[in-house]
Chain A
Amino acid sequence: MKNPSRVTAFAAIVTAFLLIPGHATSQGLGLDVAPAKFEVSIPAGTTYNVPITVHNSSGDTTHVQASMVDFGVDPSGNYQFQKVGSRTHSLLRWGSIRPREFDLPANSSQQVQLTISVPNVSGLSGEYAGIVFFQTRPIRRAGTGMAFSARVASKIYETIPDTLKIEGAIAKMASSKTGSGQNYRIVFNNTGNTHVYLRGQVQVQKGGSVVDRIAMPDEMLVERGGTRTVSIGGKKLPAGTYQAIATIDYGGKTQTGGAIEFTVP
């Protein structure tokens, strides 16, 4: 008879082999970044260091590349990323990161230092912004259709002290009939020098009585100098003439408002 301990050991190895590889794994791509957003206020002519921690939460070693970009948010709320220095209020034209790329073993962290040196020039005011991206390098394999990469942003805002202006206004409003009801389109312009978050509502009146009230989505981001188009659907209205009144709270001292009169045929 064979040694029972050897048989047991062999069975354990076979069981482990069947359980571990090839079937399911919690691996994949996993990247943690802190801070994901950082706001700082430093005067012109000073340097500030921002430590950013990147953690690989996947089960495999990954290669991480850090890159700096300018960004904007289009009227629909989608990000647009551009080369550093391409936007008027680019922050990271004054920035540098170290290290720019590194291998990160599973479940380990790397601290990356972002240094911002704001030049000592007159005329700087308001807010400057940029993003540092941390991205896993995709592994391209022969014969593979699609490879994936995870990219996590660390967004940085810097304001020149005592120069902030929070201002904004509704620039345009329109209403149109749709298949399911009435659509309202409100265009907000950020006329200040910092990013703002919007919340608001549209109230629809007929002869002084409120017939519909629609809340806008919360926390809509509008970057410095940006525009946001808010499109919201209201209920179906019978034929007649109505007034739509939009109010938006953008974090300023007062709210901004706009009104239009429209006719439903």
Chain B
Amino acid sequence: MKKLLAIAALLSLALPALPSSAATVAKTVTVKWNTQAVATLTMTTNYSAAGAQLLTAPSILANLNTGGGACTAAGSGSETASDVDFGNVSPDSGTFYTDCMYKNAVNAQVVTSSTNWQLAAQVTVGSVPADSQLCALPNGFASFPTAAASLPVAQTARGAAPSIVSVASCPAGDVAINGTSATLANETNAFSSASPANVGHDLELVLKPLAAASGGSPTQVTVTYTLTAN
């Protein structure tokens, strides 16, 4: 009997210790999430120093390559959001190319959490006639495609339209805007809304000598800018 009492007393002493030994058992919870990439593409034409859409008359520079062609300095006199209008242009009637450069034509602004993305441009409706060519000339970086880590808004630094005397290809560093997709940016950097990527460019319209007239029905094309996360 004494033995039983002693065991019971020992057990009662041991019991309070049980909760503290139970507290040492660790349980884990796995917390998981999968953050998805987000992407924003904003485009403005005839863009300002702040990257905003301007609806005023654009500035178009001419390089007639000593010929008798013509560009219209102010395009159609004013601009419409998401359009680029060169207005009336005339080719040379002899042997010279006519180059019309629309300053600050397009700014494609990208905000994305993706650290691997591509921006491309392609004519998706209509086509650039065989006797003409459209070249995109980069603003704020040397050549397409850019991979710069910082791309603030940059307007053109060109004081004259470069001489382009071919409709087969654009000069090195520029890209042709036509039915084939042209890569404008190949980035391995994310860009926040506080510091977005601005891929801006001038557009130069190149007319071959004696380029065919479009008459009362102006040549129109639609250019699609595509943002794809790699």
Contacts and interface: CB of A to CB of B under 8 A. Distances in A.
Contact of B45 (A23, A131, A135, A148): A148
Contacts of A21: 55
A218 B189 CA distance: 11
A165 interface: no
Interface string B111-132: 1111111101000110000000
A33 B39 contact: yes
B117 to A, nearest CB: 8
Interface stretch (A11-19, A34-42, A95-103): A34-42
Contact of B222 (A57, A78, A81, A149): A149
Given A34-B38, A153-B228, A24 B220 contact: no
Contacts of A22: 55-56, 78
Interface stretch (B14-22, B23-31, B46-54, B157-165): B46-54
A57 B36 contact: no
Interface string A18-32: 000111111111111
A38 B84 contact: no
Interface stretch (A82-90, A138-146, A176-184): A138-146
Contacts of A78: 118, 120, 181, 183
Given A30-B43, A33-B39, A35-B37, A151 B224 contact: yes
A141 B83 contact: yes
B201 to A, nearest CB: 12
Contacts of B45: 28, 148
Interface bin, chain B: 35 or more
Contact of A24 (B52, B83, B224, B227): B52
Interface string B151-186: 000000000000000000000000000000101001
Q: For chain B, what secondary structure do more than half of its interface residues adopt (helix, strand, loop), or is it mixed?
A: strand
A152 interface: yes
Contacts of B76: 143-144
Given A79-B120, A138-B222, A155-B229, A144 B85 contact: yes
Given A26-B53, A27-B81, A141-B83, A146 B223 contact: yes
A140 to B, nearest CB: 7
Contact of A143 (B52, B85, B112): B85
Contact of A25 (B55, B84, B108, B218): B55
Contact of A146 (B54, B111, B221): B221
A219 B117 CA distance: 10
A147 B83 contact: yes
Contact of A23 (B37, B55, B111): B55
B85 A146 contact: yes
Point out which of A22, A37, A149, A221 has the most chain B C-beta atoms below 10 A from its C-beta: A37
B74 interface: no
B225 A151 contact: yes
B44 A37 contact: no
A23 B52 CA distance: 10
Contact of A37 (B80, B114, B223, B224): B114
A32 B82 contact: no
B59 interface: no
A23 B228 CA distance: 32
A29 B110 CA distance: 12
B181 A131 contact: no
A140 B108 CA distance: 19
- Name which of A141, A148, A219 has the most chain B CB atoms within 10 A of its CB: A148
Interface of A: 21-38, 55, 57-58, 60, 77-81, 131, 133, 135, 138-141, 143-153, 155, 197, 217-219, 221
5 nearest CB pairs, A to B: A35-B36, A36-B39, A28-B44, A30-B42, A36-B229
Interface of B: 36-45, 48, 50, 52-56, 76, 78, 80-87, 106, 108, 111-118, 120, 124-125, 134, 147, 181, 183, 186, 188, 203, 218-230
16 contacts: A25-B55, A27-B53, A28-B53, A30-B43, A35-B36, A35-B37, A36-B39, A37-B230, A79-B120, A138-B82, A144-B85, A145-B83, A148-B222, A148-B224, A150-B227, A152-B41
